[in-house]
Amino acid sequence: MFKTSQRRPNRLSSSLLTMALAASVTHGNCDTTTAATIALNHNSTTTNMQDDNPLMKPSTLPFEAPDFSAIKNEHFLPAFYAGMAEQKQEIEAIANDANPPTFENTLEAMERSGVNLRRVQQVFFNLSSAHSNPEIQKIQVELAPKMAAHSDDIYLNNNLFRRIQQLHEQINSLNLDAEQQQLLRETYKSFVRAGAMLNADQQQRIRQINERSSSLSTEFQNNLLAITQERAVIVDDVAELDGLSESEIAAAAKAASERDADGKYLLNITNTTRQPVLAQLKNRGLRQRIWEASAYRGLGRDGGIDNRSLVLELAKLRAERAELLGYDSHAAYALEPQMAKNPAAAIGMLSNLVPDVVAKAQREAADIHAKMRADGIEDEVRPWDWEYYAEKVRQERYGIDENEVKQYLELDSVLINGVFYTMNRLFGVSFIERHDLPVYHPDVRVFDVIDQDGSQIGLFYADYFARPSKRGGAWMSSFVSQSHLLGKKPVIVNVMNIPKPVEGAPALMSFDHATTMFHEMGHGVHGLFSDVKYPSLAGTSVPRDYVEFPSTFQEDWAIHPEVLNNYARHYQTGEVMPQSLLQQVVAAKTFNQGYDTLEYLSSALLDLRWHALKPGDVPADMEAFEERSLAELGVNLTAVPPRYKTAFFAHVWPGGYAASYYAYMWSEVLAADSFEYVRQNGGLTTENGNRLRRTVLSRGNSLDPEQQYLDFTGSQPSVDGLLIRRGLKTPAVTD
């Protein structure tokens, strides 16, 4: 759809199933016993706990927010089993209805089903990512194959599919509105893609693949959480931490003490191959230790956790399922409902960028090598050198000291004076903190979200600090999804992993973390502003390569002069960041783009390469395949490894981005193009914000995403905005 030769979850349409498939995560042998049958075996437990289980009935808190003061781990399994049994009965009643199928007695009835199951899913799967524990992980292991079976019992219900198929054939004569037509099309497509048209033997194999895949994915997810502790780096001598601030050293000492290593210092590993702390540490040997702890995790080294067999089996199962469904590969299957439509479009868009990006990374490497030689290091540039010496180049070129910048990026100021301020300027909404609602961890904060007319839109939960019970990265999710059909308003959560300071110290963050806060709020307002009837079309239930567009669009406000002047204030004096430093921060935003882009491209292309395999082509050696693929793709610069290596690629093995990690770049084209459109039409105004809200953020998946984009900007996207965003083209002058 781009105005150029370059091109950029599988989502299941029924809301009753979307969260069930998100639960595709566990361990152990599976059979085809249905979830409903299993649930009946738990009737005594369910009956005993029905009255006092807070997950089996709507919360009495505002907007049905979860009552975390009452929810306990032992409530989850009974609620899941009861919810699956209840939904199974609801679906059977729809499928076996003696009346002819209508939109109301089939599609709308499906949308109404599974309310209690959806409630427990939205609480449980948020906690399993944001605040897990051994009990929750054990529940995940038990649930994953059962949830997969429950989903298959619905999607592979022949009577139900016949009703949907009959309605789909009559879609033009049913007098449906646009949202109803979209729901019918999406539901039909999802059933077909799940295997509804396969024969009985093929469907049985699909069931086995789904159950086994869910078990493997959960094992991988749980392994990632354990690996962050397994591969944390212990430092004996504080002198090795030269380059860190006093508060960062104190935090490392506290982390070590919590791991029974008093007198030592612990540096945790974040989710990506690159580690932010490498930009500060002067000790090259320690930098190497940290990088290797990150890059070689999940490979079973030194008797540690080994994800290799999980990767190979998942790749083979996904390829087999795609083949059963009539696709050349899992990538072809995954991209069919996306904006890209096929792997060739995604690969083409990424591959077209490779030559220029590699050339830029090589020029950056030359600058870094010169700095190393000035320090007396004659070695070639290594991955653990890049961040440290890139920071030196950045300081020399732009006069920026990252630690100095952090003094102006205190968390509350970034959130309230930056993110919330921007949302108010764009959409007229206000965020008012409240302290009366229970939360799942003391660090979590809750805000009422008030619309410009004074009405309340919903609730926003903010969970920003890193902790051992939280998986890496940053994300948005929901505890309650918006739906006019069910009378629900949204309860949204943003989660990040900003290092928590020691008690009494300010929460200062990097500029990258500040930008990520804007990004996640972009997802947040996509959920908060949802204004659709049917829950399965609400909020962020859109194609993978579109869902990152509204969030990436919001990132650029972080460097907008008006916004920066409002939130970038010294944490002690309140002084606004000096204009000279502010200009340097903005100018430096495009620094190191060769490295940043190449590490992303490497991961995105590697993801597509894994998921282009046929079942018989899945290799026996994961590491050899990765190395060979990167070389063949022309992205194998030693000093610039993939952002995510295969053994800890959370987006694609346990996550929902299999064959779709390219989506971030595709979405960035849309975001950059639309931001340039806004910049040329008044910039940070409520008029522009309301247009974005009306045409995109409120629509969910009730309208084709390409049409949403056209309704917002009035034209097909161009790559010019992306070139401007990355500092490769000068923007046009505006009045």
Active site residues: 520
> Within 131-157, where are the H helices?
134-155
> Within 493-640, where are the H helices?
511-528, 544-555, 561-567, 579-588, 593-610, 622-632
**Could you give the angle at the alpha carbon of 467 between the alpha carbons of 466 and 470, nearest 5°?**
90
Q: Which two tokens stand for residue 695?
A: 């045409």
Taking the CA atoms of residue 281, residue 499, residue 522 and residue 578 in that order, the dihedral angle to the nearest 10 degrees is: -60
Spacing of C-alpha 10 from chain mean position: 14
Render the burial of 53-66: b for 16+ CB within 10 Å, e for the rest: bbbbeebebbbbbb
The pairing of strands 445-450 and 456-465 is: antiparallel
Q: What's the CA gap between 586 and 685, in Å, rounded?
A: 21
Cβ neighbour number for residue 616 with a 10 Å cutoff: 9
* 76 burial type by CB count under 10 A (0-12 exposed, 13-18 middle, 19+ buried): buried
Contacts of 386 (CB under 8 A, 6+ apart): 274, 278, 365, 368, 595, 639, 640
Nearest to 515 by CA among 399, 671, 733, 718: 671
Cβ neighbour number for residue 454 with a 10 Å cutoff: 7
Q: What's the CA gap between 492 and 521, in Å, rounded?
A: 10
CB of 171 within 8 A of CB of 181?
A: yes
Taking the CA atoms of residue 263, residue 265, residue 266 and residue 272 in that order, the dihedral angle to the nearest 10 degrees is: 180
Q: What's the CA gap between 422 and 560, in Å, rounded?
A: 10
End-to-end CA distance of the chain: 29
Nearest to 339 by CA among 105, 549, 652, 181: 549
CB of 557 within 8 A of CB of 459?
A: no
Spacing of C-alpha 626 from chain mean position: 23
For residue 158, CA distances in Å to 155, 200, 421, 429, 720 come to: 8, 10, 52, 46, 49
Cβ neighbour number for residue 94 with a 10 Å cutoff: 23
399: left (phi over 0), alpha (psi -120 to 50) or beta: left
Nearest to 415 by CA among 466, 476, 464: 464
CB of 680 within 8 A of CB of 734?
A: yes
The DSSP secondary structure of 467-517, one letter per residue, reads -TTS-SS-EEEEEE--BTTTTB--EEEEEEEEPPPPTTS--B--HHHHHHH
- The residue whose two tokens read 């989506």 is 663
Helix (H) or strand (E) holding 700: none
Q: What's the CA gap between 405 and 567, in Å, rounded?
A: 12
Helix (H) or strand (E) holding 434: strand 430-434
Nearest to 279 by CA among 372, 371, 397, 387: 387
Classified as helix, coil or strand, 10 is: coil
CB of 276 within 8 A of CB of 596?
A: no
Nearest to 662 by CA among 436, 346, 378, 238: 346
Cβ neighbour number for residue 33 with a 10 Å cutoff: 13
The pairing of strands 430-434 and 445-450 is: antiparallel
